[in-house]
Amino acid sequence: MSDMQIQVHVENIKCGGCEKSIIKGLTSIEGLSNIVIERDQQLISVTADASLREALVAKLKSMGYPEHGSVSGLDAGLANAKSFVSCAIGRVS
C-alpha cells in the first residue's frame, strides 16, 4: 500500500465554513493526510492509499458535497441542503 494524491471534484463548496466542515469530516477517515480544498475549482485533494477513494467520496456525499456529476434531480437538492447545514456548522465551530 502506497499513498498517492487523490483528487475529487465536488459540488456545493461555498465558503470557509464549508471548507472547515469538510476538513473536520475528512479527518475522521483514518489514513488521509494533506487535505487541500480549492474552492474556486470545487476540488479536494488528499494524500491517501487509492483504496480509500471510495470512503472519501462517500464521506463527502454524506456531508452534502457529492462528486461532480454523481447526483441529479432530488438527490442533488438533498445534497445542496446538507451542504448548507455543514456550512453553518463550520462557521459556528
Count the domains in the chain: 1
Residue 22's DSSP bridge partners are none
User: What is the pLDDT of the chain when averaged over all its residues?
Assistant: 92
- Return the C-alpha cell found at 48: 491517501
Range of the domain at 22: 3-92
Q: What pLDDT, in 10s, does the model give residues 65-92?
A: 999 988 888 888 888 888 888 888 888 7
The verdict on pTM exceeding 0.85 is yes
**Could you give the CA distance from residue 58 to residue 71 in angstroms, rounded to a whole number?**
12
What's 9's domain CATH number? 3.30.70.100
Q: What pLDDT, in 10s, does the model give residues 14-23?
A: 999 999 999 9
pLDDT of residue 1: 64
